[in-house]
Every structure is written in C-alpha cells, then in structure tokens.
Amino acid sequence: MLVATCAIFPIPLKEAAQEVISVLAGNKLLPIYGVETGEKKVAISFDATWGNTRTPKILQILEERGLKSTFFLTNIWLKEYPELGREIKEKGHEIGLHSANHPNLTTLPVAKIKEELLNNAQLIKEVTGFEPVLFRPPFGAYNNTVISTARELGYRDQHGKRTRLHSHSMERGFAGLAESFSRWHLSTGDEKNPPRGDNPVP
C-alpha cells in the first residue's frame, strides 16, 4: 500500500523544514503540517508499507515533471523491495522514517517506540545509504510521547493532509494532480488554496 500525502516540493521536504520547529498548543505537541514560504510550493509525500505496483509509475511521473518528493518507508516494505528503495534515493528523493513494523506507536512504551524508529533508520541507511531526518507515524497516530521520543532521537515529525488514488485511476489521477499542481505553481499566488484533484492520490 502506498499512501500519498499532499504535503511534492520541487526540492526535498527536509530542506524546506530545516529551521521549522513544531509548535506547542496548550499541552499538546503538534507535528509539522506545513512551512512558511514566500514561494509558490506544495509538497506531496508517500508512505510505503505494502505492495510495489504503483511505485515505478509514481517515480516515472515525478521524473517526467522534474519533481522531488519524500517517501516514508517501513522496514516491511524496504525488506521486500530494496531495489525500489535504492531507486528512490538515486533519483534524488528524500526518504523518511515510517517505523519498522507499522504499529500504532501511541500504544507502545518509550523503549519500543525508540526501537521502531532506530531499527527503521538503520535499515534505510543500510539499504539506500540515506540518513533519514523526517518521521511520519503510522496511521497518523501520535501523542506527546511519540513526538517527544522522536525529537529526542533527532527526528522531525511531519504530517500532511492525506488523500488516496484508487488503483484503477492511479495513473490518470496522480498524473492529473501533478499537472494541476504544476499549473497552479506557475500561475497563481494563492498559497492557501491549492488545486483539488478529481480523484482521491495513492
């Protein structure tokens, strides 16, 4: 399963978020949902846990449009498709943590959360040579313990608005969405209202 999050910079997300610190709202820690920029940019990222049927086409579409993205990979996926993990890195995309085994981290003690993140980071480095900085929790599930533990280990927690493409419409929907973002990037200054695709992105 590959989940796309509407959050694709023409540059890796890490660079845009370099100086961003997640905010504290009351007593609840919040992850990064966006970054302030005067430039016309949006970001699309992908979570990979099961399956690889969409990945080659997504990489092709990104390359054709000169776009860079962030792929959040689990160990489950990376062990199954190490060659795709290396291709993601070789094509200049960023790789982020998505945990080793895709558990709901909010149900785990701190030691287990650390184990999930450190094992994930180790395998990403071994397989791709990339040293991840960004982290996205499985299921979008987080609490103060998850966020503070990730930060303690030196990772930046990132979230986005999630949307899906059904398999039968992936190519048409994602390609159309990428084209729509490209047109919007060139033609409008409306940073708060990016285009909405006709189909839900993988």
12-47 pLDDT, tens digit each:
444 444 333 434 445 787 777 677 778 877 778 889
Helix (H) or strand (E) run with residue 95 in it: strand 94-97
Say what the pLDDT of residue 165 is: 44
- What lies within 8 Å, CB to CB, of 168 at 6+ separation is none
pLDDT at 30: 73
What is the model's pLDDT at position 158? 72
Using 50, 70 and 90 to split pLDDT, how confident is the model at 120? very high
Question: Does the model's pTM come out above 0.85?
Answer: no
Cβ pair 13, 7 in contact under 8 A? yes
If you average pLDDT over residues 106-124, what whole number do you get? 97
Q: Tens digits of per-residue pLDDT, 129-172?
A: 999 999 999 998 989 999 999 999 999 887 655 544 433 344 45
Q: Is the pLDDT of residue 195 over 80?
A: no
Structure confidence at residue 132 (pLDDT): 96
Start-end of H helices in the chain: 13-16, 55-64, 75-80, 82-90, 110-128, 144-152, 170-187
pLDDT digits (tens, 9 = 90+) for 57-108: 999 999 998 889 999 999 999 999 999 999 999 999 999 999 999 999 999 9
Domains of the chain (ranges; CATH) run 2-187 (3.20.20.370)
How many whole angstroms separate alpha carbon 106 and alpha carbon 91?
33
Q: Report pLDDT for 174.
A: 54
Three-class SS of residue 5?
Answer: strand
Closest to 123 (Cα-Cα) out of 165, 77, 67, 159 = 77
CB 22 within 8 A of CB 170: no
pLDDT of residue 1: 52
pLDDT at residue 198, as a whole number: 34
Cα dihedral across residues 25, 28, 29, 33: positive or negative? negative
Q: State residue 149's pLDDT score.
A: 95
Is pLDDT above 70 for 180? no
| pLDDT above 70 for 178 | no
